[in-house]
Structure 1
Amino acid sequence: MAETILTFFSLAPFYLLGAFPTGRLVGKLYGIDVTREGSGNIGATNVARVIGKKAGITTLSIDLAKGFLCCFLGAWLASDESYGAWSGLAGVFGHCFSIPPLKGGKGVATTSGVMLWLSPLSLLLALFVFAGVYSMKRVVSLASVAAALFLPLPSLLNQSNSNIPITLVAACAALIVVFRHKENLKRFSEGREEVFQSKKES
């Protein structure tokens, strides 16, 4: 029990790394508070919608790197790949449920970084799902949720003990992504969810 509690608290630095508010800081570089514009979210989609494609890609890249770095550092420091997986999940949690008054994102990019380190095959499958759903509906939130639900599949089908942490982390991250998109899903069901358009840059 004591060891479990110690492990839990040892994940705090990765939570804090995940909580780094990339989108908000990128917005400030452009003199814009993204939490007061568009959807108010600090993720790459809202940044691209409010500021432009370049700012959105910057936000996406850094948020993805946060997830990858959490896994890499966790595994390296503990010499344990399973710990790296849980470190990545802590980063996703930090990104989505940041310390007040910071507003969290929806976890798509950070989860992608985690899966890039844990299971590139799972990420590749999710990207195909995202591309397919987005090409049909042009709704980023719906495509993101659909992609997230496929993340645990490859490791789940591979019945290996070494894949158990990957499956659990992928499933937990997917549930977080779905939960963070609950308002988007509600709007989509009511026909009110916006089709994505990035702001044209001057």
Structure 2
Amino acid sequence: MERVLCLLIGYVFGLFQTSYLYGKMHGIDIRETGSGNAGTTNALRTLGKRAGIITLLGDAFKCVLAVVVVHLLYRSSRPEMLPLLSMYAGFGAVLGHNYPIQLGFKGGKGIAATAGIILSTTNVWVVLICLAAFIAIVATTRYVSVGSLVIVTIYLISVIVRIYTGSYNTSPKYYWEMILIATLFLISAVLKHRENIKRLLNGTENKISFSSKKKEV
């Protein structure tokens, strides 16, 4: 029951669509602009740097807030389950972001929300590794999709490593379940990026520009 509730808590927080709301404030439906994706990259490309930054922060911290709520609810009654329940909340936030019921289940790709689970449930080293890898990959290839898939992969690896080094303050009986949820984060990211992957294989994937000046709104 706790798992379902945490998943629902995350989903509700995930329904806060930062880029969509930002665009609406300026008379634009982000889902009808650019790639049609309600996420950070499309907001950056079509609405400008300010929109991109606000979307990134908003989408990441809605996941962080979901984890905080779960901690407040279960830190006394289920302390040994908190790492697992936090992951359920994080995955729920990704589902809410990717498939928002109020927007006809047309949302983003969940990478910024996944960044929120990395921020709120891992350690500073994992955060720094993910950040460094993302910056290095995007700076050298200019493919945001590649950087996004890499950091979700790093998250899965970090969960496995932390489990086998005893870094989680939880019962071993939850280990395989935690690995499964971390794997679902990766599967979700791959499914949402399947068109990007096809374009990468075909050599037609869009590259992000660091020099073009987008209109700030």
TM-score by length of 2: 0.82
Shift of residue 127 of structure 1? 1.6
Q: Distance in 2 between matches of 1:149 and 1:180?
A: 14
Identity %: 32
Q: Distance in 2 between matches of 1:97 and 1:106?
A: 9
Question: Which residue identity lines up with residue 108 of structure 1 in the other structure?
Answer: I
Unaligned 5+ residue runs, structure 1? none
Question: Which residue identity lines up with residue 62 of structure 2 in the other structure?
Answer: K
> Which residue of the partner structure matches residue 120 of structure 2?
117
Indicate whether 1:50 and 2:46 are aligned.
Answer: yes
> Which residue of the partner structure matches residue 145 of structure 2?
141
Shift of residue 194 of structure 1? 0.9
SS in 2 for 1:151: helix
2:156 aligned to which of 149, 152, 159: 152
Q: Distance in 1 between matches of 2:179 and 2:128?
A: 15
Shift of residue 168 of structure 1? 4.0
> Which residue of the partner structure matches residue 184 of structure 1?
196
Unaligned 5+ residue runs, structure 2? none
Say which structure, 1 or 2, has more relative contact order (CA 8 Å, 6+ apart): 2
> Which residue of the partner structure matches residue 200 of structure 1?
214
Aligned residues: 198
Q: Could you say if the C-alpha distance between residues 190 and 182 of structure 1 is closer, same or farther in structure 2, counting changes exceeding 3 Å?
A: same
Shift of residue 193 of structure 1? 1.0
Divergent runs of 4+, >6 A: none
TM-score by length of 1: 0.88
Shift of residue 78 of structure 1? 1.6
> Which residue of the partner structure matches residue 85 of structure 1?
87
2:33 aligned to which of 31, 37, 44: 37
Question: Which residue identity lines up with residue 127 of structure 1 in the other structure?
Answer: L
Shift of residue 102 of structure 1? 4.2
Shift of residue 70 of structure 1? 1.0
Q: Distance in 2 between matches of 1:118 and 1:67?
A: 11
